[in-house]
Structure 1
């Protein structure tokens, strides 16, 4: 039996009943709060071999968390109250050092080119509070995130669990009836617990978001991951307050990405659209054409790609590496491919494995010497430093494949079922296994697709972004 595509999976939610499941207290839609996790549980069972896409939240390391919290509280107090026309909200992923200062490749370019009074609010990743910062108008979300997390652990009651189970059992029945897919009871219990905690903490989360927006008083919010269901409460509150919300593209989007593709029933629902941002600011027209999220799509370009390509134009580095890109989930799968490749190539190239940012700390702890046998573990925080010495960049599901085009020697897609699910359309040459990859490396390069570079990476991101700002700030929320 052929495994389903995302277009087939989202038929599960193509049912008006999903718009009827609501929070008894606030009336908020429940499906956005668990949609990504439910779909990813199905995707995980179908396409991931060695590690799950969805797992229970790990215990918080108290010493690291308290240390980060103390630093953040001191920083936020020193910043005082900040107001601005533009509020940038980021996860805190994407930091690298730029001229000795920490710079966020996802949000700081936009903050730099926005109004002078732009405010950034950022999460903390791996308990690392970046200091000193390039962007000086930053506050950290960790104190509120801590309060939200604690509320999710202490407040759930039987009624939250019952409400969560009713929705998820309905979704599981739809998956079974339409596609013959099952979810194990243990995984269902995990999803039910996850949604019950989100439901219990929803009032605290809504209060926190409203308080943030009341204090900063923005007219426009640039919200990383705004199309993800967990940010539905933020989008709803911003809309109620007449504030426009846009998601700047931060990585790969495609016809296989659950956060950016929706069933017709949801796309046509005014209530569901209120859970989403107003705008999506894409890297290029090609990306925008891959997704059907019911928001206004703008072509902006990728600030980090453009700036890094410009800085690399004058430097020449010997391209001696085969660079493999991890996906953040199944590191051992990529390590096995890298080790087999090292054996087959026998020193003709350096084999370098780059962990995804989500797994960087764990992999570093596992391989403190920076290598696994003949395979080097890439420690560069910025991927473009690794591209410079790459004869070839190899990956399965990674934005880095697109970023490597025109920078590395060549780009090759590991054509697994997972890759075909994630990229229903793509511009890459592919290979099936390590032996096929070695053979491909010896063949002349060929263009597989007629997709133009400008359709993937639009030029003049500064001009495009300023044009967007002028229109967004002039329009009502």
Structure 2
């Protein structure tokens, strides 16, 4: 599909200007563009490509009530664990939990934690206000208490000087957007970005103190940080580097040439100073993924532990393939529901149509449709997607890692080639389709639906050996 809408490469020209490196915190000297860039680009991407629901929204007022409910339990848990330390520290978002043998297991981070149990500790965020206990990984604390203190510092320490420097940075970015691309950002969105960024700037001194204290107590030599390339982790990366600790991001989901967190304009990418706000290493699922991004970091091929383990289980438990599985993107659930209904009207009962909510929207969707059905559309209730793959004949979505996870497990994989998908995947190995009628034609075509890439390029084998080699490199060669 051709689109006249700008690619990410064109959007990145906005930051291709050395003056973005002149905006600094007056107290710490830290660069401020990392605190704004992802949200700024996502406001633009949202305006251009998302028609039903924006990518950036105001935080829910109910989060304070949820924090008060969860915080006491988290404090008791952390106190019970005492002081945890180890050569390897994993900082996780808290997403990715599923139950295995009656205990919670994090598919993104716990495989790495179990690989070197005695040397590894984990600190996690809280997702959907769910504390995943009891869990397999016993050497885990939660970041929420520090997160609350950092957020309070941002609110209490905000001053007019912080407003002025963020306003200046926003004004510069807005003018370049208009002059280079002819695009304008609404005053409402500028105000939203201002309100989000000012507290981030105001809390930098306190945040630096928290990070230094935390890292000194845990004493790691290597930190694996989920989403480490995202700008909001820039200060953590910088402090970690200041302390002589190596930082790596294990791949946690979809990355591509259309992903703003992993692609940079030359002025930013070539800056030695900006590189201090990024991890040293990226631990990719396979060579294909690593080739998609231009972040100025060292790229390692590790593999995908969860895919490897679940694939073993699926190949030994063959089920009937009766489903068409649709993967929502976490933003625009309504368009997937519309596609699902269109498919039902065309397939004449040959397959069951199952719509899987993204983890970001799972709680809301389950509350809105408690019966688990919307007419004849089935809402997927499986927490782990590999259970859903086990009954899927075909899988489809726009921007989803699960399309790749289906390779070798699902007969037909098709990419819904909307402008949003084309933006996110400038190149991809899948059969594309435009609408429900086109989808049905493609799944009935024997040649369509097979990924045009070697499976090992996406999912490298022997993740444990690959990870061991990386750990040996970091802990033995670098620190000898």
Q: TM-score range by the shorter chain?
A: over 0.9
Which residue does 1:362 correspond to in 2?
364
Gaps of 5+ in 1: none
More displaced stretch, 63-72 vs 32-41? 63-72
Give how far 1:451 is off. Answer: 1.9
Matched, 1:260 2:255: no
Which residue does 2:191 correspond to in 1?
189
CA contact (8 A) 2:412 2:450 kept: no
2:474 to 466, 472, 475: 472
Distance 2:395 2:187 in 1: 40
Distance 1:323 1:475 in 2: 46
SS in 1 for 2:240: helix
Give how far 1:346 is off. Answer: 3.0
Which residue does 1:424 correspond to in 2?
426
Which residue does 1:53 correspond to in 2?
55
Give how far 1:110 is off. Answer: 0.5
Give how far 1:162 is off. Answer: 1.0
1:177 to 156, 179, 183: 179
Distance 1:343 1:61 in 2: 40
Distance 2:207 2:5 in 1: 37
1:103 to 94, 105, 123: 105
Deviations 1:52-78, CA, capped at 9 Å, x for gaps: 011112213444322211110010000
Matched, 1:241 2:243: yes
Stretches of 4+ moved more than 6 A in 1?
none
1:213–1:70 CA distance, 2 compared to 1 (3 A): same
Which residue does 2:67 correspond to in 1?
65
Gaps of 5+ in 2: none
Which residue does 2:151 correspond to in 1?
149
Which residue does 1:217 correspond to in 2?
219
Which residue does 1:434 correspond to in 2?
436
Distance 2:192 2:344 in 1: 39
2:384 to 378, 382, 385: 382
Which residue does 1:32 correspond to in 2?
34
Which residue does 1:289 correspond to in 2?
291
CA contact (8 A) 1:12 1:178 kept: yes
CA contact (8 A) 1:282 1:299 kept: yes
- Pairing of 1:98-137 with structure 2 (within 5 A): 98-114=100-116, 116-137=118-139
Distance 2:281 2:294 in 1: 12
Give me the TM-score of the superposition, normalised by structure 2. Answer: 0.97
Give me the TM-score of the superposition, normalised by structure 1. Answer: 0.98
Which residue does 2:321 correspond to in 1?
319
1:267–1:117 CA distance, 2 compared to 1 (3 A): same
Give how far 1:448 is off. Answer: 6.5
RMSD in angstroms over aligned alpha carbons? Answer: 1.2
1:408 to 407, 410, 433: 410
Which residue does 1:303 correspond to in 2?
305
CA contact (8 A) 2:412 2:449 kept: no
